[in-house]
Amino acid sequence: MKVGCHLSSSGGYLAMAQTAVSIGANVFQFFTRNPRGGAAKPIDANDVAAFIEYASANGIGPILAHAPYTLNAAGAEPRVREFAEATMADDLVRLERTPGAMYNFHPGSHVGQGAEAGIRLISDMLARIFDAFGRAPSTTVLLETMAGKGSEIGRTFEELADIIEKTESRAKGVKLGVCLDTCHVWDGGYDIVGDLGGVLDEFDRVVGIGRLKAVHTNDSMNVLGAHKDRHEKIGKGKIGLEAFRRIVNEPRLRSLPFYLETPCDLQGYKEEIELLKSLVA
């Protein structure tokens, strides 16, 4: 099972990998820079080389880089969109140092412009970034499923599919993926507790199951369809332990990497990793 959690990137790549191994993880997620935005730390080539060697020896990967929360490619103000584009473009260049990584981002919020306008702005930004790159990056870019707070885009599979179609029609050779967040889809109204198979069937019909590349593994403090996005520890929320047993054993999911984003410290993550492994039949 590929399972891990979100880790601090303050010590660099090698330190994250060593921490992952110490808690029984073989994948991990990290922020590319401060989650509220700002400049990224310079990359240490020696640290990257040591990480790649250590990851290979310990079977670690794929790693998942998470964009800062402040990115909003669908923002109403040009400066907001420009910040999102410059940050993502820089992140993807930096991630070329760690081939095989994935890059996850929240599609954005249309802030009153309407979902159609927001989707157009997001796909336009992605197409420009990929065009400027000159080729498909080695990093797989993932759109995250969202809970539907406020004017969030990505609350439905149809919105994600629309972004993907509009981007790939312009950026030839690029293939986008999706990260399914269990808390978000539940809060968004997809009943993964009572009908996991049906939800995945719908995802396959609308987006394509081959697009699904990662799972953010979070319980929820909220009831189905609450559109609030509040993560809870595994088995302690409204999704519940038995639903996660079905999730980790679902044939269409079990080969994917699972990344915990629950409200835990390292010891808590270690226990949750052990718990998820124990659920695998």
Summarised one tens digit per residue, pLDDT across range 139-156 is 999 999 999 999 999 999
Nearest to 248 by CA among 212, 218, 277, 213: 277
DSSP structure class, residue 155: S
Say which CATH class 3-279 falls into. alpha beta
* Per-residue pLDDT, 134: 85
* Per-residue pLDDT, 31: 96
* Per-residue pLDDT, 82: 96
Provide the b/e sequence for 123-157 (b: ≥16 CB within 10 Å). bbbbbebbeeeeeebebbbbbbbbbbbebbbbbbb
* Per-residue pLDDT, 39: 82
| C-beta of residue 276 within 8 angstroms of C-beta of residue 244 | yes
From residue 203, alpha-carbon distances to 10, 115, 129, 158 in Å are 36, 19, 26, 9
Distance CA 108, CA 263 (A): 23
Distance CA 83, CA 86 (A): 5
Cis, bond preceding 99 (omega within 30 deg of 0): no
Q: Which amino acid is at 1?
A: M
User: Secondary structure of the chain: what % helix, strand, coil (to 5)?
Assistant: 40, 15, 45
| C-beta of residue 87 within 8 angstroms of C-beta of residue 34 | no
Question: CB under 8 Å to 90, separation ≥6 — which residues?
Answer: 40
* Per-residue pLDDT, 136: 85
Is this prediction's pTM over 0.85?
Answer: yes
* Per-residue pLDDT, 189: 98
* Per-residue pLDDT, 151: 96
Residues of the chain with pLDDT under 70: 37
